[in-house]
Amino acid sequence: MIVTIDGPAGTGKSTVARILASRLGFEFLNTGAMYRAVAYVCLQRDIDPSDSEAVGNVPSDLEIQFVNNCLFLNGRDVTEAIRNQEVTQAASLVAANGKVRQRLVNLQRDVARGTNLVTEGRDQGTVVFPTAECKFYLTASPEERARRRQRELQEKGDFVSLDELLVQQELRDQRDETRACSPLKPAADAAVIDTTAMTLEEVARHLESIIRPRLTC
């Protein structure tokens, strides 16, 4: 079985997907981290994230692997390195690149072959796994999403004002929703869940209650 969880940043996709995968005994795939990894390499190589030709060539020599919920890039653990603000901003530009998306979509499908999987991202239910058995799309108010991101950054010792995060978030949403390749939107058959007033544990329990009956079908 494949379970897809899509939605914009700050809705709890990654955490909820990780919880579900653990409880169901499924593999977990964090596709957002894959795009962050490409963005990280672009920055390391001084490649402008808006240079579509140069960015499109980056994934060809990258080995991206997940081991125990950590992302390894060419054998190096970059799990924390890809979570800073600079990478976050670059990732949405990189994710709009058609060549990058095609390369990573192929990798994502390879990971899913022959396994039970919970995967999260922005196009998992619409493009990557259109025939997935369970599809979810998480939403939350812009303010709550920004607050969650602010708390995440503060835990790492970084402070960014809520107003600044809201502006960055709006720009990222606009890029994700209007890009020509795999725009962010709910799959027609996805269950849409508003997580604004829910803890991530509550979201995970709710999704699990929907998935489990389908495991016995």
Range of the domain at 149: 2-212
Q: Which of helix, strand or coil describes residue 6? A: strand
Residue at 175 is within a domain? yes
Quick: pLDDT tens for 2-49.
999 999 999 999 999 999 999 999 999 999 999 999 999 999 999 999
DSSP state letters, 143-200: HHHHHHHHHHHHHTT----HHHHHHHHHHHHHHHHH-SSS-----TTPEEEE-TTS-H
Q: Decide if 217 is inside a domain.
A: no
d(CA 144, CA 136): 19
Q: Where residue 81 sits, what CATH number does that domain have?
A: 3.40.50.300
Number of domains in the chain: 1
Q: Residue range 155-170: average pLDDT?
A: 92
3-state secondary structure of 139: strand
Q: What tokens does 48 get?
A: 């402008």
Rounded CA-CA distance 154/120 in Å is 24
Report how far residue 65's alpha carbon sits from residue 74's, in angstroms, rounded to the nearest whole number.
8
> Does 43 fall in a domain?
yes
Asked if 132 and 4 touch (Cβ cutoff 8 Å), the reply is: yes
From CA 170, how far away is CA 165, in angstroms rounded? 8
Helix then strand then coil, % of the chain, to nearest 5: 55, 15, 30
Nearest to 58 by CA among 75, 41, 43: 41
What value does the mean pLDDT of the chain take?
Answer: 94
Cβ atoms of residues 83 and 156 within 8 Å: yes
> Considering the chain, what percentage of its residues have pLDDT values greater than 90?
84
* pTM of the predicted model as reported, rounded to 2 decimal places: 0.90
Average pLDDT over residues 151-159: 89
Percent of the chain with pLDDT over 70: 100
Residue 61 lies in a domain: yes
